[in-house]
Amino acid sequence: MAEWSPNSWTKKPIKQDVIYEDADGVQAALTKLQKLPPLVTPKEVMNLRRYLRNVALGKAFLLQGGDCAELFDYCDQEMIEAKVKLLLQMSLVLIWGANKPVVRIARIAGQFAKPRSSPTEVVNGVEMPSFRGDNINGFAATPESRRPDPSRLVSAYFHSAATLNYLRAALSSGIADLHSPLDWGLGHVITPAIKENYERIVNRVQDALRFMHTVGIDTDRGVETVEVFTSHEGLSLEYEQSLTRLLRHPAVPTAAAGSSSSTTPKEGYYATSGHFLWIGDRTRQLDGAHVEFFRGITNPIGIKVGPSMTADELVRILDVVNPAREIGKVTLISRYGAAKIAQHLPAHIAAVQGSGHIPVWQCDPMHGNTQSTPTGVKTRHFSDILSELKQALEIHRAAGSFLGGMHLELTGEAVTECVGGAGGLTEDGLGERYTTFCDPRLNEKQALELAFLVAGFYRE
């Protein structure tokens, strides 16, 4: 295979490309980014790779979630806390349900760039360039603001850094302390049944902690924090390339040291913009720029797998991005839609099983289930989301495979963007707090309810 470098993607055809008018501005932005320190370290990236290996082998569950499009304005204490607390609550429920450790990856601190189905959109009767995400252009519907602005790439770095800084600080200050999951604040809109269920699980955790304390196991250490990893779609390759660095691999833990030899490379390229990056369904062409970029990075990566992916293509992409067949290096994020999953997933599983690759299989029950209401509001039905997840679980079971995790668009805010759930949100209610700048997200209540229902599938 041809030699790889952080910019070898520039020789390949690219989808969703951004045309900047200001070439000097682009150069200045990229030069600046190349000098800035990494946002994540090889040690953290390798830790996540180790955890995802366990997910691929069925020993852990992967919960990934966050906004569809993160805005620079979401770099805000309360919004970050709300999202992290929701992911922590959901993971506690899933640990109880699946009886496995949960690996948490947030769509946060860099989820800015958005692929669009059309380069233009009509806003208030005027056609203009589509909003491509806060790191590319502005949401304000004027031709001025919609022009790609390269200085936004540098802004993206600083907003990611500030978000990640607060996330790290909050975690190291005990936001995730297992002694106090009731302080994670269940939203005021939560239904009594969900609240009761959640409190029951928390009481069990606290009983277990008391028991450990009584028998002399130190519960003051080890339960006071958890790891939360960051992720985003690696769409803007100019940005990703500038933050990709040749770095020393961390020392291998002694137990695994036997497998390394003098021929094992001491260093590798790390995409240091986040721990986990994925390729979107619109940019996963085998010979395209994104697959080229992704095949060279050490980070664990995701690949969105939609209905247009053929089984043969799927295996070929895996061969390209993971020729060494590292277990769990690749997460396949299936997103067919509740009505189509039964038609596509079995053949995809069979092809991957036949190839010898062992990826993480994650279900994204959001992106194949987007619909418009008669008045043109983009929404998703809770029942479709749940149905795709349930089918994914059953199809994997029947194939001797297993569903390793779920990938959700959610927010800690009390938004009204998806229809259904125990709260009974209807299409008429969508207008109340519809604040997404891209796809509809589950609100706190819907997300926690979904976690309970999925936990229930595992306890059936």
Annotated binding-site positions for phosphoenolpyruvate: 107, 304, 335
- Of 149, 439, 444, 449, which one interacts with Mn ion (CB under 5 A)? 439
454 binds Mn ion (CB under 5 A): no
**Contact status, residue 450 vs residue 400, Cβ threshold 8 Å:** no
CB atoms within 10 A of CB 23: 9
Q: Supply angle C-alpha 14, 18, 21, rounded to 5.
A: 130
418 binds ligand PEP (CB under 6 A): no
CB of 169 to ligand PEP, least distance (A): 27
40 binds Mn ion (CB under 5 A): no
Which of 59, 40, 39 has its CA nearest to residue 51?
Answer: 59
Measured between its terminal Cα atoms, the distance across the chain in Å is 47
In DSSP notation, 398-448 reads: HTT----EEEEEB-SS----SBBTTTTB-GGGTTTT---SSS--B-HHHHH
**Contact status, residue 213 vs residue 246, Cβ threshold 8 Å:** no
Chain residue at closest Cβ approach to ligand PEP: 280
Residues between 13 and 42 that touch ligand PEP (CB under 6 A): none
CB of 438 to Mn ion, least distance (A): 6
Buried b / exposed e across 65-103, counting CB within 10 Å, b at 16+? Answer: bbbbbbbbebbeeebbbbbbbbbbbbbbbbbbbbebebb
- Of 83, 232, 304, 344, which one interacts with ligand PEP (CB under 6 A)? 304
Question: 63 or 194: whose CB is closer to ligand PEP?
Answer: 63
115 binds ligand PEP (CB under 6 A): yes
Residues between 308 and 337 that touch ligand PEP (CB under 6 A): 335
Residue 400: enclosing H or E segment and its boundaries? none
3-state secondary structure 177-228: CCCCHHHHCCCCCCCHHHHHHHHHHHHHHHHHHHHHHHCCCCCCCCCCCCCE
Measured in whole angstroms, how far is the alpha carbon of residue 233 from the centre of its chain?
A: 8
Give the residue carrying structure tokens 């700048």: 437
Which of 267, 312, 268, 321 has its CA nearest to residue 290?
Answer: 321
* CA–CA dist 206, 448 (Å, integer): 20
Question: 439 or 444: whose CB is closer to ligand PEP?
Answer: 439
- Of 68, 109, 393, 406, which one interacts with ligand PEP (CB under 6 A)? 68
CB of 314 to ligand PEP, least distance (A): 14
105 binds ligand PEP (CB under 6 A): no
304 binds, among Mn ion, ligand PEP, none (CB under 5 to 8 A by kind): ligand PEP
Contact characters 430-449, ligand PEP, x per CB under 6 A:
---------x----------
CB of 364 to ligand PEP, least distance (A): 6
367 binds ligand PEP (CB under 6 A): yes
70 binds Mn ion (CB under 5 A): no
Count residues near ligand PEP (CB under 6 A).
9
Which of 406, 289, 282, 303 has its CA nearest to residue 357?
Answer: 303
149 binds Mn ion (CB under 5 A): no
* CA–CA dist 126, 141 (Å, integer): 9
Question: 150 or 337: whose CB is closer to ligand PEP?
Answer: 337
**Contact status, residue 121 vs residue 128, Cβ threshold 8 Å:** yes
Count residues near Mn ion (CB under 5 A).
2
* CA–CA dist 229, 40 (Å, integer): 9
Q: Per the annotation, where are the binding residues? A: 68, 107, 304, 335, 367, 409, 439
Question: 284 or 295: whose CB is closer to Mn ion?
Answer: 284
281 binds, among Mn ion, ligand PEP, none (CB under 5 to 8 A by kind): ligand PEP
Which residues, 6 or more positions from 269, have their beta carbon under 8 angstroms from its beta carbon? 4, 6, 244, 245, 246, 247, 296, 297, 298
Which span (27-35, 165-173, 249-257, 437-445) binds Mn ion, by CB under 5 A? Answer: 437-445
281 binds ligand PEP (CB under 6 A): yes
70 binds, among ligand PEP, Mn ion, none (CB under 5 to 8 A by kind): none
335 binds, among Mn ion, ligand PEP, none (CB under 5 to 8 A by kind): ligand PEP
232 binds ligand PEP (CB under 6 A): no
68 binds Mn ion (CB under 5 A): yes
Question: 233 or 444: whose CB is closer to Mn ion?
Answer: 233
Amino acid at 120: T
Residues between 69 and 98 that touch ligand PEP (CB under 6 A): none
- For ligand PEP, the binding residues (CB under 6 A) are 68, 115, 280-282, 304, 335, 367, 439
- For Mn ion, the binding residues (CB under 5 A) are 68, 439
